[in-house]
Structure formats: structure tokens, C-alpha cells
Structure 1
Amino acid sequence: MRILLPALVGLALLSPLHARPAAVSPILTTPDAVDSETYAQPRVARVTHVALDLDADFEARVMRGSARLDILAAPGAREIVLDDKGLAIERITDDKGRALRWTVGTSEENKGAPLTVQIGAARQITIHYSSRPDASALGWLPPALTAGKRKPFLFSQGQAIENRSWIPTQDSPGIRQTWEASITVPDDLVAVMSGERLTPQGEPAGAGRKRYRFRMAHPVPPYLIALAVGDLAFQPLGPRSGVYAEPVTLAKVAPELDDTERMIDAAESLYGAYRWGRYDMLVLPPSFPYGGMENPTLTFLTPTIFTGDKANVDVVAHELAHSWSGNLVTNATWPDGWLNEGFTTYFENRIDEIVYGKERAAVLADISWDDLQRDLRGSKPNATKLYVGPGEEAGELAYNKGAIFLRTIEKTVGRERWDAYLRAYFDRHAFQPQTTAGWLADLRANLIKGDAALEAKLQLDRWAYEAGLPDNAVHVRSATLAQVDAAIEQVKAGGPVASLPFASWGTQEWQRFLNGLPRTLPSVRLAELDGAMKLGTSPNAYVRSAWLTLAIGNRYEPALASAGEFLPRVGRLLLIRPVYRALAAQGDWGMPVARRIFAQAQGDYHPITAAVVERILEPAG
């Protein structure tokens, strides 16, 4: 018999580390808000607070200790179901230390297994456990894989459902939780987390060990609980921002981040106060799988964005924008993920416009349009939807199609009216989950307000639920990229490559050029491009990735050596995934090379990256 939990809004949760009580975030109960990627039954019993007490064992590659969970349960509820992905559980006790019965159900690939605890009347439980050495959320790096080459490094990556491999909780974006943590590490390393840093210098914790304590007083989706441990130094960038990095890296990366405070000010001028206290960043080793990760108070960044020209600091604007769209208002389920990424990509561009001007924003928006067109051409129709229903294949265009959707609304209703709506929207739904249907209802109630002509002009349901690109989509065109387009036409016409003005190009111009060239080119033309532009040895990872994808697609033999050097040292999926795909698509010419490179590089990749590449290289059939 299922027991339903009553309304949750307004209930308070107290924690020893909280300066003030935090309101419990509601659970959405509409059918579209049911998360198929969790075993939890939050309307019966849900986690509201997680208190971690863990020791980082670098030799064994495990996190070991306990997680204390505060529970809100319906009257008569006798059990709680958590998510577990390979945890080694020793025992589970109630708040008086009495043993509780628990079982782990059948495990599913990627999703893990249900951990069911018989809580009886207990509303606080403690799970004593350790993670596995191969926990999918944790990247344990030996010194050789760090920038400094002297000390090991650990970082977590919880999105989308990986944190269940090191934190026993209800791992769903719709079940927001406050948290606190005590993390013990070797005393020559520094621990940082995505919350308030209570002991920035650490405190003694026995021979050769140091303890760091953290807290997050706002309810957040569990995927945003993040940890890193390593040889880290810190440099302030302004009164509420700074950057952590390995000491040998810090001097290189800090100058490219010196506009961070201006970005925070710009974001606040658009959509209201930044509600997370500090905005710091952590530059990770190259095996980090993403460009950035929007962990509250501590954005994680890949070193690949630092190319010497500040051309890629839009990644910082993107992760900062997530402090509103994603962290403040979060997709309730992963099929609604575009509510995070599409909104954020739009918001990022608005920050860029304020800080760097309209033409820089136009360049990035035009590149976004290009990326969307490529994804539309290369995806099955169902994978070109924003909202992806149960059983449908997820696409890769939530960022750009979502951003263009919002830009289309802006152009239709006017920027002033749109900004007022969006600012109020973030206030109305702060620290809460959201669905596509819920946002559309909010938009209709607070922006459209029964205007049938406006409703018809916007084509909202077509944008949200149908495949392809509606015919009212707004394409922002860049004058800068128009000049690059002229260079592309010169190459197509057979003109000399050496005369092109590429010496002044930044990352975006290079991307436009390489992605805009014909996909079929003879080896002699590829050799001319490579020789004049030094593409096969470019230190810019964006340029190298785009070049290798083109060159390998044409079976350009010198590209194989370049790929063999590039792929093992870069862990960012955005940059290596297309190269592996290009190799795999070339069958007997490229697939053996891809598998040989992956065999060499696999141990250096984050588990998420390794799993994606493995799927690309699986035999067809």
C-alpha cells in the first residue's frame, strides 16, 4: 500500500551547522514530475538533509565514513527508499544508535539499485559505508595526471545521477536537500566543496590528517553536492569571487578570470540577487569531463578553456548563470533538463553582451545557431525535441534550441517585458523544482495573460514538445563571423589558404571556419590548411578538435598522429567525443586507431568519459 506525503511547503528543517532554518522544498506531484531515474518514493518518505562524515583514502581510492539523513515521512510510513550505486554498506542505525534492517535490490546498469531501510518511527538515520574504487562520480588521479605532477587529486562529478555512487541519498533533482560535510584528507592536501567553507585552512584530525567542514543551508538537488581534494592554492578575484587551482596553474588561469565580478554584477542587474554567498571557481586537471560544472559557490572548470585570448570565458558566464537557472530553479526530472541548459545558455549570452558588448554576444549567438543546425542534421527527429518523454532518445540540443526559444520570446514581446517576467519567475520558484508543463503554465499566466494572438505567434507547444525548429526562430547574425564566412568561400573557390586573415582569429572564428568548410576535401587541400595554419599541432583544444573531426572524416593520414597525441591528454567530452566518433565512423581505417588510443587513455579518463567513449567504440549490431 502506498502512503502519500502531505504538502511540504513551509516546513522547517534545523541542522546544527545552519545559521537559520531552511524551508523544505516542495515535491512536485504531477505525472510529468515523476523521476524514472530514481528508486525513491518521496511522497512516502524523503530525505531533507544530508550530513557527511567521510575520510578520503587515496591509497584504496574510496571515501569511507557515514551519512546521516534527516527524513520527512507521511504518517504511518515505515520505510524509506534511497539510491545506491555500488556502495559498500556496513550498517544503518537510528538516532539512538540502534540497528535498522535494510536491503539492496536488483541493480540496473547506470541507475544502480534501491536501498530500502526499515525506519519504523525513526526520522533520522545514519548509514556507515564506503564507496567503491570504481565509483562513477569520483575521479582519483595519481600525481602524474595532475598539472604539478607531485600530489594526487580527487574530484567528483555528480550530474546527472552519479552521486549515488558515493552518497547514499535520494538522488533526484526534484528532491532538494540541505547538507553539511566533514571531510578528512592528507594534511598536505586541501579539500573544497560546493558549499560554505567553514574551515578554509582545515583543522588537525590525527597524525598526517586534516579535517575540512562545509555546509549548504539552501536546499539543492543532490547532483550539486561536489568535492575536490588536491594540491590547491587560492587567488581572490574580487570581494566575493576567487579561483582555486594547482599552484603551477594558478598564475596562468587567474588573469583570464578577472572579469568575474563584472559578470556577477551583470547577472544581478538582469535577474535579481545572487543568493549563494561567494562565487569561486576551481580549475581541475584535464580529465574533467565537462567544460564547467555549476556546483553552487564553487564552479568546476576544465583547463581547456584557458587559451590565452579570454575567448572562452563565456563558459564562466554560463556556469554563473546556472546560479539562477538550474541551481535556484531546477529541472524536476532529466527529460526537463533544457529548463536548466537552455535558460542558462540564453542568460549567459545576455551577461556576455553587458560585459563584452553586442558584437561579442552576436558572435556567440551565431555560433550557437551553427551548433544547433549541425545537431538538427545529425539527430533522429525525436532527439530534436526540448522535452524528451519516457522511452525517447535524448538529444544534444537542449542548450542551443532552448536558448533560441527564449530569444525568440524576447524578440516577440520585447526585452523589457521579457526581463521583468524572467526576473519574477526566478523569485516565484526559487529553490524549487520545475517541469516544462509547469513553466509553460507560469508563462501563460504571467506573460501571455490570455492574449490569443501572442500565444499563436510564439508557438510555445511546438517549441517545447515537437521535433525540429519552428519557423519563428530568431537567428542572430554576427558581422565578425560574416568575414569568416567570406574566408570559407575563398577556400571553397580554391583560393590560397595562406592569404586568409587567420592570425587575428579567436576561438570562435576558428570554430566557424573549420566547421563551415566542406565536409569532403582532398588530401592536398587538407595538407595546405594544415601547413599554413598549423592545425594538427594547435595548442587550442577547440581548434584541434574541430580540425581532427574534419581531417579524420576525410581519412587524412597525418591526423592520426595528432589524434594520438591529443585524445589521451584531454578528458573533456565536448572536445574528444566528436573525434572518437569520426574515427569510429571510418570503419577499418579509423576504428582500430580509436580503440588503440582509448586503451592507452582509458585509465586517465573520468569514469563518465570512459563510459561514453566505450559506447562509441562498441561493435555495431
Structure 2
Amino acid sequence: MRIVLLVFWIIGFNAAASTPNRDIDIVHYKFELILNDSSDAITGFATVTIKFNKDLNQFSLDLTGKTPDGKGMEVYSLKQNNTPLHFNHRNGNLDITLKNEIKAGTQIDIMISYRGIPSDGLIISKNKYGDRTFFGDNWPNRAHHWLPVVDHPSDKASVEFIVTSPIHYEVVGSGIKTEESTLNEKQKLTHWKEDTPISTKVMVIGAARFAIQYAEEVDNIPVEFWVYPQNKSEGFRDYAAAPKMLKFFIDNIGPYAFKKLANVQSKTKYGGMENASNIFYFENSVTGNAQVDDLIAHEIAHQWFGNSASEADWNHIWLSEGFATYFTHLYNEHTYGKERRAKDMEKERQEVVAYFKNSPLPIVYNSLPENLIDILNANSYQKGSWVLHMLREEIGTEAFWTGIREYYRQYFNKNAETADFQRIMEKASGVKLDNFFKQWLYNPGHPILDVSWKYNAKTGITDISIEQKQTGMVFNFPLEVSFYGNDGEILATEKLKVDGKKNRFSVKTAQKTNKIQLDPGINLLFESYLRK
């Protein structure tokens, strides 16, 4: 997901409603949905295939019930093998009682018939041209407003959507389209099926008037553009960079986990939403000026990190957002050079420093905010990106890429925690990374350095004094320093090992040092006060 300059409608992304259900494992969802233009009510029939992890005769799914404003879902039938089951639907939980105890390891199908007006999750509105649209917008735990699910990223399942809609809509969805049929003069049926297990946060449909361009295939993956017909020329042009981005990530990380890549102009609340195989971009991303390449790269990177290799819980969200942010920089470095990457990292460094002044929290911590939207911040995005960049500097580029590929291979279509990533990077590099992960991920803040220096003309030595002024942890890190002569020529660049509250260094140069520059390559997350 990428946040741009948007105003968010904060509607209670409840952390409590996003608790993993370890007793069951959803294997497959089949959602048969009826959309209409006469009202915002949808009719749903869900077949949920469930594997039991322990002996149970009762379990729960997440589904928003009726609310005082008349929105929410009402369940009117719930069956197992055509046998009605007792259920209790309240407080966002659909509690289901089985006829008999189900043994661990057993798999069953539950059929749920329901109807209602989504209070969220499926956004039914008008686009900027006044056309009616339907767009799934499930992140982080909003799928349960319109679908009966286990609404947590740790429970992945394959999914299919069979959508009956007014005939004038094109319907895009997760996976591959297996059928599109005219039912009568007013309705059509569209069937999308995703065989790769994905989290509910990224399984969606979209229905609107679309112009569709089938751009090209990248390693047998079709790339498509779905945009509003009123701005189709601009949209096809703005999204045109997607194939080369897809190619970069396939070549450098590993195989793409899905069977298509659709890039969709939409009504998502976010700048972009990385729905698996069909990315939704905010509708004003289409301008005709090709100014959203960073946004596109970020969302495509999510197909690897966040969609395939997914965070096991929300406090590890940096494994999704920090990765997508940094891999956007890696794509830009590959495409435009190191100067572009350095410029982007410098901007992000300032953003991390500014965020910390008001929110002195670590990237990974146990307690979650009341509203999960609050985990989208400079820690999970920009600081997470910086951690990956400093890790690359710590272990070397070759070991970094080796570890990244192995991490993706091991957690392909699975869930990971930060400790899993650390273990793999240690093995790839042969370097113990306990202190690195502790100080940058589990500890709040960053080094704040008071640096003074003096050149001794008699000895030709420049003495540098570095004191860490931040409260709390004393950081251990390498700091590159460049020394400049009177004519602006670089006399030397040294990598200094800072490992204490106060450190002193002496560097001999062939000429008088007139100026020093800290971190010329933009490789360290820090603040500094430089005094001569």
C-alpha cells in the first residue's frame, strides 16, 4: 500500500476484530455475489472450506452484522451438507455450532447465505465522472464488512468470486477470469478464480465501466490496464511502466506468485492498494503525465512482499511496507542510477527523524493501536526501508540479494515474522545480526550525533570527536566521513566504527582538511550537529 496526499475516512479499523483464529484454517472461499443498481444492498452466498486444527464443535468467522443505520450483513441461512446449523451473529462475530464434533485435520464446507448493505470493505459510490462503481477495499481488516471470513493476514486461502452484475459493468477480480456470460438482457456473470492462497486483505473485486488494455506478457504473465473510459488514453500511458517493473522484480527476487497483473483505476481510499494480481490505484493517479511510477513500483513490489511473503501479524507490517518502499528505491537505482536512490533515501531520512519527534516508538512492538490505520506511518514505511538499506551496507550487496531471494523462496505464499527474516539474512551473510535488529527494529530512535573536528597542520592529522546524544540505547554503526581540501577535492573517505557513547578518531590526509562531510553516500539513518 502506498499513501499519497489523500484525506482518509477513518472508520475504526479495529485491532480486536483482527485476531487470528488458530483453531481453524480456511482453505478456500467461494463467494457468489449479486450486485445491482437499484440499491446498495448485495446478496451473497459463500462456501467456506475449513480445515480444523483441533477437535471442535464450535467456531467463529468474522462478519459485520446489522447496525443501527441499517447497514451491515444479515445471515438468513447457514448449512453444512444441506443440514441447517445453529448460529449466533453479534458483535461482528458469526458463531457457528456444528451438529457433531469435528476432529483435527478434518476439512468441511460451510454454506452461508446473507444479504445487506456493506458498511465498509466494498465501496459502492460514484467515480469522478459520475459513474456508479463497486470496489473492494479490504485492507487491513475490512473484508468482514461484506464477506464472511477469518479477517487476519495469517490465514491465507484460495478464493473465487462469481459476480452477477448489471450487464454494462466490467468486473475485475483476484486471479484468472474463467467465465464471462450474458445471463439475460440486463445481467451478466463474471467468474474470477485465484488458486494461490492469499490473505483477505488483498482478495477483492471491482465493477465499473472500464476501458481495458491487454498490454503485454512478462515471463508469461499478462499485464493489463483497467481505467475509466473517459480517460483511457491518459490511463494507458500513466500505467505503461508496469511491465518493466514486473520484469525487474521477477529477475531479481524470484517468480511472480500470480497469473496476471491488472493495474486498475479505482475508488480505493489509499494512494494504491496492492490487491493480489489486481492492484487498485486512486482514481486521480491518472493524469496523462506519467507521474505515478513510484506508486506503481511500490504496489508491484508488494506482490512479492505483503501478498506472497506476508507478515504473520500486524506488528510485523514493515515486512510488507518497508520492503515495498525500499524495493521501489532499488528499482529506481537500477533504472536511474545511485544518485536517484541517494536523493530518495535522504528525503526519507528527514521524514523518519520528523516522525520520531512526535511518535518515539520502535518499528516492531507488541501492542497495536486501537485503529490499525495508525500502523501506516514513517516507521513501517520509511524507517523500514532504511533498515533494509543499512542491512545491505552491513552485510554487502551480494549477501543481501542472496538473503532476500532465500527469504522469498522460504516464505513464498506463507507468513513470516521479523525473526524469520533475521535468521535467513544471518545464514546468507555469515554475520550475527542480533545487535543490528535490536537497535534498528526493536529499539526506538536513531543516533543523534554531536560531531566536532580539528585539523593539526603540524601532523597533517584531522581529529574527529563523535558523541551520541540520544537518550536510551547507544548505537553501534559504521559512519563514512569524507575529507575535503581547499579546492573542494576529496582528500580521503574513511569508514569509522562508532560503538560507544563517545568516540575519537584521527585521520591523516595529504593536504589540509578544509571540510568534512558525514555519510556522503547516504547510507546511515541519523541526525547530526557538525562543529569545527
Q: Give the TM-score range, shorter chain.
A: 0.7 to 0.9
Letter in 2 for 1:171: D
**Structure 2 residue corresponding to 1:89, chosen from 50, 75, 78:** 75
Conserved? CA contact 1:342–1:399, under 8 Å:
yes
**Structure 2 residue corresponding to 1:55, chosen from 34, 38, 60:** 34
Q: Distance in 2 between matches of 1:129 and 1:400?
A: 41
Map 1:223-242 → 2, pairs under 5 A: 223-239=201-217, 240-242=222-224
The residue number in structure 2 matching 1:252 is: 234
Q: Distance in 1 between matches of 2:116 and 2:307?
A: 26
Letter in 2 for 1:82: L
Question: Aligned with 1:330: secondary structure?
Answer: strand
Question: Aligned with 2:120: secondary structure?
Answer: coil
User: Closer, same or farther in 2 for the Cα pair 1:237/1:366, shift >3 Å?
Assistant: farther
Map 1:168-187 → 2, pairs under 5 A: 168-187=148-167
The residue number in structure 2 matching 1:447 is: 428
Cα distance per residue 1:568-589 (max 9 Å; x no partner): xxxxxxxxxxxxxxxxxxxxxx
Letter in 1 for 2:293: V
Conserved? CA contact 1:137–1:162, under 8 Å:
yes
The residue number in structure 2 matching 1:387 is: 364
Q: Distance in 1 between matches of 2:400 and 2:149?
A: 38
Map 1:149-548 → 2, pairs under 5 A: 149=130, 151-199=131-179, 202-239=180-217, 240-285=222-267, 288-379=268-359, 381=360, 384-390=361-367, 394-395=374-375, 396-397=377-378, 398-444=380-426, 446-449=427-430, 451-452=431-432, 455-456=434-435, 459-470=436-447
Does 2:47 match 1:68?
yes
Question: Aligned with 1:461: secondary structure?
Answer: helix
Cα distance per residue 1:237-293 (max 9 Å; x no partner): 3222121011012111211222221111111221112221221100114xx311111
Letter in 2 for 1:139: I
Question: Aligned with 1:61: secondary structure?
Answer: coil
User: Closer, same or farther in 2 for the Cα pair 1:297/1:41, shift >3 Å?
Assistant: closer
Letter in 2 for 1:229: A
The residue number in structure 1 matching 2:125 is: 141
The residue number in structure 2 matching 1:101 is: 86
Q: Distance in 2 between matches of 1:40 and 1:119?
A: 24
- What stretches of structure 1 of length at least 5 have no aligned partner? 1-34, 477-621
Question: Aligned with 2:51: secondary structure?
Answer: strand
Does 2:58 match 1:79?
yes
User: Closer, same or farther in 2 for the Cα pair 1:75/1:370, shift >3 Å?
Assistant: closer
Conserved? CA contact 2:159–2:193, under 8 Å:
yes
Cα distance per residue 1:466-490 (max 9 Å; x no partner): 11125568999xxxxxxxxxxxxxx
Once the 2 structures are TM-superposed, how far is the Cα of residue 172 of structure 1 from its aligned partner? 0.9
Letter in 1 for 2:212: F
Q: Distance in 2 between matches of 1:184 and 1:472?
A: 59
**Structure 2 residue corresponding to 1:113, chosen from 69, 93, 101:** 93
The residue number in structure 2 matching 1:128 is: 113
Q: Distance in 1 between matches of 2:112 and 2:304?
A: 32
Q: Distance in 2 between matches of 1:177 and 1:405?
A: 31
Q: Distance in 1 between matches of 2:383 and 2:326?
A: 10
More strand by share: 2
Conserved? CA contact 2:20–2:155, under 8 Å:
no
Cα distance per residue 1:322-365 (max 9 Å; x no partner): 11110111111111111110111111111122233333333332
Conserved? CA contact 2:239–2:263, under 8 Å:
no
Cα distance per residue 1:536-586 (max 9 Å; x no partner): xxxxxxxxxxxxxxxxxxxxxxxxxxxxxxxxxxxxxxxxxxxxxxxxxxx
Once the 2 structures are TM-superposed, how far is the Cα of residue 307 of structure 1 from its aligned partner? 4.8
Q: Distance in 2 between matches of 1:433 and 1:281?
A: 25
- What stretches of structure 2 of length at least 5 have no aligned partner? 1-14, 66-72, 448-474, 481-532
**How many residue pairs end up in the alignment?**
419
Conserved? CA contact 2:136–2:205, under 8 Å:
yes
Q: TM-score, normalization: structure 1?
A: 0.64
Once the two structures are aligned, what percentage of the paired residues are identical? 21
Q: Distance in 1 between matches of 2:337 and 2:216?
A: 22
Q: Distance in 2 between matches of 1:283 and 1:388?
A: 35
Bigger radius of gyration:
2
User: Closer, same or farther in 2 for the Cα pair 1:341/1:102, shift >3 Å?
Assistant: same
Question: Aligned with 2:307: secondary structure?
Answer: coil
Question: Aligned with 1:78: secondary structure?
Answer: strand
Question: Aligned with 1:46: secondary structure?
Answer: strand
Q: Distance in 1 between matches of 2:171 and 2:97?
A: 31
Q: Distance in 2 between matches of 1:119 and 1:80?
A: 12
Q: Distance in 1 between matches of 2:478 and 2:258?
A: 33
Conserved? CA contact 1:47–1:70, under 8 Å:
yes
User: Closer, same or farther in 2 for the Cα pair 1:391/1:399, shift >3 Å?
Assistant: closer
Letter in 2 for 1:53: E
User: Closer, same or farther in 2 for the Cα pair 1:101/1:475, shift >3 Å?
Assistant: farther
User: Closer, same or farther in 2 for the Cα pair 1:423/1:39, shift >3 Å?
Assistant: closer
Letter in 2 for 1:54: L
Q: Distance in 2 between matches of 1:223 and 1:350?
A: 26
Once the 2 structures are TM-superposed, how far is the Cα of residue 302 of structure 1 from its aligned partner? 1.3
Letter in 1 for 2:362: K
Conserved? CA contact 1:226–1:295, under 8 Å:
yes
RMSD between aligned residues: 2.4
Q: Distance in 2 between matches of 1:475 and 1:361?
A: 18
User: Closer, same or farther in 2 for the Cα pair 1:187/1:474, shift >3 Å?
Assistant: farther
Question: Aligned with 1:348: secondary structure?
Answer: helix
More helix by share: 1
Once the 2 structures are TM-superposed, how far is the Cα of residue 60 of structure 1 from its aligned partner? 2.1
User: Closer, same or farther in 2 for the Cα pair 1:308/1:232, shift >3 Å?
Assistant: closer
Q: Distance in 2 between matches of 1:154 and 1:315?
A: 22
Q: Distance in 2 between matches of 1:197 and 1:353?
A: 35
Once the 2 structures are TM-superposed, how far is the Cα of residue 373 of structure 1 from its aligned partner? 2.2
User: Closer, same or farther in 2 for the Cα pair 1:189/1:388, shift >3 Å?
Assistant: same
Cα distance per residue 1:375-414 (max 9 Å; x no partner): 22232x2xx3211312567551201110000100001111
